């Protein structure tokens, strides 16, 4: 039976950002319709952050068994039951899923429609038998993995982040196309669980990060047995035997043939906007996503777009950040502008690589007068006790010690970035960092030690030393 719904807000997409908008609006008593054609929780819960970090955790547990000798504990060769590791992944998803379920959001007062949405006109959306005419629409449809135009790729079976977690058998040799965070995280996890792994990257691996820190991660992965081929192009792909794959490579040293049991494509993502009929809604978009203003408003004033659908940074925490901005704008008419300089990013390899703000190269390219401050894990007492001394923090400071960028590679880098995200939100300087008391012993002390080093030059200045000598005269 056809129905016409007239809510205050219609959210298209039941991923992290869309669910945040729906839950927040419903909590204020606002009428909300949520449309999701696939699984509630979207990519993050079902195919992205949650399953990948669960698999990484399984790999960490296996790896730790071989690290005992440094502590006087005998090393143990791990026996990995890959099927049980994948059940661990499934159990984690199942534990979180009720928070994102249709039942929970229905209980919150949200009308959930499990159909595909498409715009009929500038103020109407059709979803199955439902017609939705809302005061405001929020598009939060996320993104999907995209396959590069590699000859032969369409004729071989390959995995993406949406299919790899359904496997119950460990790949004998996993070939990964793409040396970004997703590719390297899954490469290391599978290597630690017993697979042979080769990563192929056409440019530099972790190319969006500071190369000084990326080198630490890549050195560690290679030491664990992950083969990382940089500046290597995949010329073509073909089947090998009944289920294997053969990849023809073109690198700086010539051509090479690489045989594997499975192929994982982790070469980027594209926004999920094609099925929305955005032209009928007069919403402009490109292959990179929906065009939005700094307030996340589209070319149709009734429609907002958030998260991956809006292009830009593709992180779950960005979608949640966008959700907060949109809620403030729609419900309270408060000024809410996106500030991408506040967005941190983390690659969850071991060691982790975390960053916020400008890299050293970006700061210098802007012509900024910068001072680079570093502190190594090896000089940290807690890192020594844990035998986790690989890595360092790198602060990029500008005029008057304002912090322009922070990069950390090492144990717990992602957790440390919580602190530095607050530093950026409050526009703090190195002087502010030196003023807080860090608990001892913690690895986070490396940040304060780096900040203190900003003033090292002052200790050598004759005028400062002269002042100290003068003050001694007063007792």
CATH value at residue 170: 3.50.50.60
Q: Indicate which CATH number applies to the domain containing 417.
A: 3.30.390.30
The residue-averaged pLDDT of 426-436 equals: 95
Residues 253 and 384 in one domain: no
Q: What is the pLDDT of residues 99-149, one digit of tens each?
A: 999 999 999 999 999 999 999 999 999 999 999 999 999 999 999 999 999
E strand or H helix that includes residue 225: none
Residues 33 and 132 in one domain: yes
pLDDT value of position 350: 97
Residues 171 and 244 in one domain: yes
Task: Choose the final residue of a domain: 308, 341, 374.
Answer: 341
Q: What is the pLDDT of residues 44-65, one digit of tens each?
A: 999 999 999 999 999 999 999 9
pLDDT value of position 153: 96
pLDDT value of position 367: 82
Cα separation, 453 vs 396, in Å, equals 12
Say whether pLDDT at 460 is over 80.
no
Task: Choose the final residue of a domain: 341, 371, 386.
Answer: 341
Residues 124 and 180 in one domain: no
Residues 225 and 284 in one domain: no
pLDDT value of position 368: 73
pLDDT value of position 243: 83
Residues 116 and 162 in one domain: no
Tell me the C-alpha to C-alpha distance, in Å, between residue 175 and each of 132, 315, 321, 404. 45, 25, 34, 37
Q: Where are the alpha helices (DSSP H) in 116-275?
A: 181-192, 211-223
Say whether pLDDT at 457 is over 90.
no
231, part of any domain: yes
Residues 24 and 140 in one domain: yes
Q: Which residue shows structure tokens 């294997």? A: 244
Q: What is the model's pTM? A: 0.94
Give residue 132's domain range: 3-40+101-145+270-341
Among 284, 305, 217, CA closest to 18: 305
E strand or H helix that includes residue 290: strand 289-290
Residues 133 and 276 in one domain: yes
**pLDDT interval class at 469 (50, 70, 90):** confident
Distance of alpha carbon 239 from its chain centroid, rounded? 32
Q: Are 404 and 397 in contact (CB under 8 A)?
A: yes
The residue-averaged pLDDT of 406-412 equals: 98
Residues 181 and 205 in one domain: yes
Q: What is the pLDDT of residues 248-280, one digit of tens each?
A: 999 988 899 999 999 999 999 999 999 999 999
Cα separation, 23 vs 27, in Å, equals 6
Residues 293 and 176 in one domain: no
- The residues facing 254 across adjacent strands are 251
Q: Using N-to-C axis directions, what is the helix angle for 82-96 and 49-64, rounded to 10°?
A: 140
How many domains would you assign to the chain? 3
56, part of any domain: no
Q: Are 363 and 405 in contact (CB under 8 A)?
A: yes
Residues 427 and 281 in one domain: no
The residue-averaged pLDDT of 326-340 equals: 94
Residue 289: how many CA atoms within 13 Å on its side-chain side?
Answer: 26
- The residues facing 410 across adjacent strands are 352
Tell me the C-alpha to C-alpha distance, in Å, between residue 247 and each of 159, 175, 235. 14, 9, 8
Cα separation, 440 vs 64, in Å, equals 25
pLDDT value of position 96: 97
Per DSSP (E only), the strands in 49-179 are 111-113, 117-121, 124-127, 130-132, 136-139, 143-145, 173-177
The residue-averaged pLDDT of 312-333 equals: 96
**pLDDT interval class at 427 (50, 70, 90):** very high
Q: Which residues contact 473 (CB under 8 A, 6 or more apart)?
A: none
Residues 332 and 356 in one domain: no
Q: What is the pLDDT of residues 274-316, one digit of tens each?
A: 999 999 999 999 999 999 999 999 999 999 999 999 998 999 9
């Amino acid at each position: 039976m056809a129905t016409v719904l007239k809510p205050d807000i219609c959210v298209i997409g039941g991923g992290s950002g869309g669910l945040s908008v729906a839950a927040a609006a419903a909590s204020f008593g606002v009428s909300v319709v949520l449309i999701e054609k696939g699984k509630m929780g979207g990519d993050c819960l079902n195919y992205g952050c949650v399953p990948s970090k669960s698999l990484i955790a399984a790999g960490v547990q296996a790896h730790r068994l071989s690290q005992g000798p440094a502590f006087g504990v005998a090393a143990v060769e791990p026996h990995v039951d890959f099927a049980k590791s994948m059940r661990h992944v499934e159990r984690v998803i199942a534990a979180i899923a009720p928070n994102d379920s249709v039942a929970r959001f229905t209980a919150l007062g949200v009308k959930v429609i499990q159909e595909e949405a498409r715009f009929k006109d500038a103020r109407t959306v059709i979803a199955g038998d439902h017609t939705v005419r809302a005061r405001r629409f929020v598009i939060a449809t996320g993104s999907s993995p995209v396959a590069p135009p590699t000859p032969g790729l369409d004729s071989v079976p390959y995995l993406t982040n949406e299919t790899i977690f359904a496997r119950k058998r460990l790949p004998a040799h996993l070939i990964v196309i793409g040396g970004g965070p997703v590719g390297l995280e899954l490469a290391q996890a599978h290597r630690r669980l017993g697979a042979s792994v080769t990563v192929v990257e056409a440019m530099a691996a972790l190319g969006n990060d500071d190369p000084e820190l990326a080198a630490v991660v890549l050195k560690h992965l290679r030491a664990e047995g992950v083969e990382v081929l940089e500046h290597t192009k995949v010329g073509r792909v073909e089947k090998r035997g009944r289920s294997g794959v053969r990849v023809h490579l073109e690198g700086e040293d010539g051509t090479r043939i690489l045989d594997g049991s499975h192929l994982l494509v982790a070469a980027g993502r594209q926004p999920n906007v094609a099925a929305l009929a955005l032209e009928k809604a007069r919403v402009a978009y490109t292959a990179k996503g929906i065009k939005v203003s700094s307030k996340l408003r589209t070319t149709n004033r009734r429609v907002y777009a958030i998260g991956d659908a809006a292009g830009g940074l593709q992180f779950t925490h960005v979608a949640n950040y966008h959700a907060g901005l949109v809620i403030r704008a729609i419900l309270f008419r408060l000024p809410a502008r996106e500030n991408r300089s506040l967005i941190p990013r983390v690659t969850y390899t071991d060691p982790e690589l975390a960053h916020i703000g400008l890299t050293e190269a970006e700061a210098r390219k802007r012509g900024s007068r910068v001072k680079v401050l570093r502190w190594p894990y090896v000089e940290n007492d807690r890192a020594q006790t844990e035998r986790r001394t690989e890595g360092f923090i790198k602060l990029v400071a500008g005029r008057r010690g304002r912090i322009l960028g922070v990069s950390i590679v090492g144990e717990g880098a992602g957790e440390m970035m919580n602190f530095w995200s607050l530093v950026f939100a409050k526009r703090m300087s190195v002087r502010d960092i030196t003023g807080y008391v860090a608990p001892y012993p913690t690895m986070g002390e490396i940040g304060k030690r780096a900040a203190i080093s900003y003033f090292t030059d002052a200790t050598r200045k004759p005028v400062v030393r002269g002042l100290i000598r003068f003050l001694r005269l007063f007792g």
